[in-house]
Amino acid sequence: MKYADIQWRDGQPYSPGYGDIYYSNAGGREESEYVFLRQNELTSRWRDLGAGEHFVIAETGFGTGLNFVLTMQAWAGKIETGQIGPQACLHYFGIEKHPVSPADIARVAGNWPELSAAYEELLAVYPPPVEGEHCRALLGGRVQLHLIFADVIDALEPWALQVDAWYLDGFGPDKNADLWSDQVFQLIEKNSGQGATLSTYTAAGFVRRGLQAAGFSVSKVKGHGKKREMITAVLEHKKITQSPTPWYELAQSHYQNRQAVIIGAGLAGLSCAWSLVQRGWQVTVIEKHHNVAQEASGNPAGLLMPRLSIDNTTDARFYASAMLYASHCLDALQNQSDEKFWFHDGVYSIFKASKAEKLIDGHGYAEQFMEILEQHDLKKYIADPNATVSFFSAAGWASPKGICENLLRVCGESLQLIKRNAVDIRQQQNKWQVLDENGQNIATAEVMIIANGVGANQFEPVSWLPVSSVRGQITAIPANESSSALNKALSFDAYVTPEYKGVHYAGATYRVGDANSELTQAEQDETLSHLEQCLPGVFTHPGQLTGRVGFRPVSDDMTPIIGAVPDKNAFAEDYKELHHGRPHAHYPPAKYLSGLYVSAAHGSRGICSSFLSAEMLAAMIVNQPLPVNRQILEHLSPARFLMRKLKRGQSLD
């Protein structure tokens, strides 16, 4: 995916590919406000929003972000005047097949100085052109921008949104017919809530007829300026459709109090706490150790890198979005801290040339995400003449422990840390209790998140989750003159960080089923051997055992487990005939254990996956739109393990 090709003609952005302008200098802002904000009656509809409620807008053709910026500014005005409830949130889905570059957006912003602050906030979080979903918080978290960089059909097909208002603002129907097809209108209806409104500048007859066929009640109203007419529409009777995968269907949650208990004070648990705290929740975190980040999250260093896969598009898409989101979160955390724990310098990755090219070609990665460096000083150190150096500018390295300590700090008084050992959980009267070794209650809440690493399946309601432990050893290596020339982290068969306070960190080994917590010479030698094979003569042997051992939680399919916990007994009964191949319409929606969620099995990519996973869970808990589409939700769902057995006709016992 590449940035849009834009030509500037008399100060107006013009698309040569579509033969159309993005907006008119003569009244472009006024037209946007009239066509989209006013015709959807947004300011009056927002007055009905109470505390913690949300409103969803979706736009086909995000373009230069003008409609979004104007909408955010109007929303901010309602917040300032107290006309919407506290913690009410605007969710804005912007769909764009050809993302406009930050440079072009900044040039657009120059036309309206009064919008400069809003545009600056947009540009500060604007992601690179990577296909997929990118969720970013603006306006102190009161606006959630969901940018979906994809073709409109690919963007809308895997969602089941409940949109309140639509902006149809792509290039005109005569210029970009794909954006105005009957299939698109059907998907718009599918992703609309009852009573959703829609507006667009066009009055084309086939657009009106297509929307009517999709179920909208369509009206023609006066257009803006010289345009005689435009279209508005209302979805008065939403169609009831059956989910193609009812076993992954999430139930609406209704919790009385904004309180949650989280078991585990590592990256997974504390990122969940942070996501909930930002939504106005009070969180109790239970940790069996004397402090946070004492297990796998206590490692001195780790890379923020995506998991790169040539074949699995869903997995690759999740990790690409997760890495960019984590980088965004870590930037925000680091800006609030005087202590350095996040090094956003990018990461060099050494591949066989053919693999790097396949990754870029297979996923359409832009150079702003993954770039092959044809010439680089690093090459003179690399032993393999056929290797290629790639650069991931949004990647970096961090201290997981430092991340956890800063998450604890920024949560402030909204987080209570209890240092006791949770040995059991139980639900009584719709509330979850955490019990210690003496059967004493440690904490109680309607909502509980299990995020205690390798111990995630120690509790009976989730004992069936296939979570196991993988030992990993990191080695600390003293820096020397040659190694100090490495100014960024390097990923290859292992990884190594640049010198920091006289030390490089390298690792990590991978030992399945090994419970030894002591450093071993064999694993240190293995790491040093990888370094020597890749960069011969660069690093100095430590001369002694030095480093740290951690145990990473993994699932049996090596994918994180994120989501609401299924009611295993209900699944066994409701879907016992699934292996006979009956149509999905015969099956009821999934049943879950009310208030119980899990964030587990992040493996060696916890820095990457924890933050987006936390946003997923927080969105589920407060009934907000998810930051990922349905394909990714199902890819990560705990229910996938039950469904695999049921589809094969196997028992869940």
* Contact status, residue 473 vs residue 517, Cβ threshold 8 Å: no
Q: Across residues 136-147, what is the average pLDDT?
A: 95
User: What is the pLDDT, as a whole number, of residue 25?
Assistant: 66
3-state secondary structure 101-160: CHHHHHHHHCCCHHHHHHHHHHHHHCCCCCCEEEEEEEHHHCEEEEEEECCHHHHHCCCC
Pairing label, strands 132-138, 89-96: unpaired
Query: Using one digit for the tens of pLDDT, what is the confidence trace for 377-434?
Result: 777 778 777 788 899 999 999 999 999 999 999 999 999 999 999 999 999 999 999 9
Give the position of tokens 């104007």.
70
Q: Is 90 exceeded by the pLDDT of residue 463? A: yes
Query: From start to end of 457-582, where are the E strands?
Result: 467-478, 489-491, 495-496, 503-507, 511-512, 547-555, 561-566
pLDDT band at 26 (very low <50, low <70, confident <90, very high): low
pLDDT band at 500 (very low <50, low <70, confident <90, very high): very high
Measured between its terminal Cα atoms, the distance across the chain in Å is 46
**Arch. (CATH architecture) of 7-234:** 3-Layer(aba) Sandwich (3.40)
Q: Is 80 exceeded by the pLDDT of residue 376? A: no
pLDDT band at 582 (very low <50, low <70, confident <90, very high): confident
C-alpha distances in angstroms, 266 versus 296, 402, 444, 546? Answer: 8, 11, 20, 23
C-alpha distances in angstroms, 474 versus 82, 509, 642? Answer: 52, 7, 35
Pairing label, strands 132-138, 143-149: antiparallel
Q: Which residues pair with 219 in a beta bridge?
A: 232
What span, in angstroms and rounded, lies between the C-alpha atoms of 527 and 522? 9
pTM, 2 dp = 0.94
Q: Is 80 exceeded by the pLDDT of residue 375? A: no
**Arch. (CATH architecture) of 254-295+402-466+557-647:** 3-Layer(bba) Sandwich (3.50)
Q: Is 70 exceeded by the pLDDT of residue 492? A: yes
Query: Using one digit for the tens of pLDDT, what is the confidence trace for 238-297?
Result: 888 888 899 999 988 889 899 999 999 999 999 999 999 999 999 999 999 999 989 888
User: What is the pLDDT, as a whole number, of residue 383?
Assistant: 74
* Residue whose C-alpha is closest to residue 272's, from 559, 618, 625, 552: 618
- Written as six digits, the tokens of 61 are 């053709």
Q: How many residues does the chain have?
A: 653
Q: Across residues 7-17, what is the average pLDDT?
A: 86
User: What is the pLDDT, as a whole number, of residue 267?
Assistant: 97
For the chain, what are the domain ranges? Answer: 7-234, 254-295+402-466+557-647, 347-393, 474-489+496-555
In whole numbers, what is the pLDDT of the chain averaged over residues? 92
- Written as six digits, the tokens of 5 are 């090709």
H-type alpha helices, 511-556? 521-534
* Contact status, residue 183 vs residue 155, Cβ threshold 8 Å: no
- Written as six digits, the tokens of 168 are 């149809």
Which of 109-118, 144-153, 360-369, 516-525 shows the lowest mean pLDDT across its residues? Answer: 360-369
Q: Across residues 363-367, what is the average pLDDT?
A: 86
Q: Which residues contact 299 (CB under 8 A, 6 or more apart)?
A: 399, 400, 401, 474, 508, 548, 550
* Amino acid making up residue 118: A
Q: What angle do CA 73, 74, 76 make, to 5 degrees?
A: 65
Q: Is 90 exceeded by the pLDDT of residue 558? A: yes
CA torsion sign for 474, 475, 478, 483 is negative
Question: Does residue 124 have a cis peptide bond before it, meaning omega lies within 30 degrees of 0?
Answer: no
Question: What percent of the residues of the chain are helix, what percent strand, and what percent coil, each to the nearest 5?
Answer: 35, 25, 40
- Written as six digits, the tokens of 611 are 């933050």
Which of 183-192, 329-338, 540-549 shows the lowest mean pLDDT across its residues? Answer: 540-549
Give the position of tokens 């129907």.
173
User: What is the pLDDT, as a whole number, of residue 288?
Assistant: 94
Q: Which residues contact 94 (CB under 8 A, 6 or more apart)?
A: 58, 59, 62, 65, 68, 145, 146, 147, 148
Q: Is 90 exceeded by the pLDDT of residue 120? A: yes
* Amino acid making up residue 11: G
Pairing label, strands 371-373, 387-392: antiparallel
User: What is the pLDDT, as a whole number, of residue 404?
Assistant: 97
- Written as six digits, the tokens of 298 are 């206590």
Torsion region of 495: left, alpha or beta (phi above 0 gives left; psi -120 to 50 gives alpha): beta
Helix (H, G, I), strand (E, B) or coil at 617: helix
* Contact status, residue 228 vs residue 254, Cβ threshold 8 Å: no
pLDDT more than 90, % of the chain: 76
Give the position of tokens 């049921």.
646
DSSP 500: B
Cα-trace Rg, the chain: 26
Q: What backbone phi and psi angles, to 5 degrees, belong to 12?
A: -110, 135
* Residue whose C-alpha is closest to residue 129's, from 369, 396, 308: 369
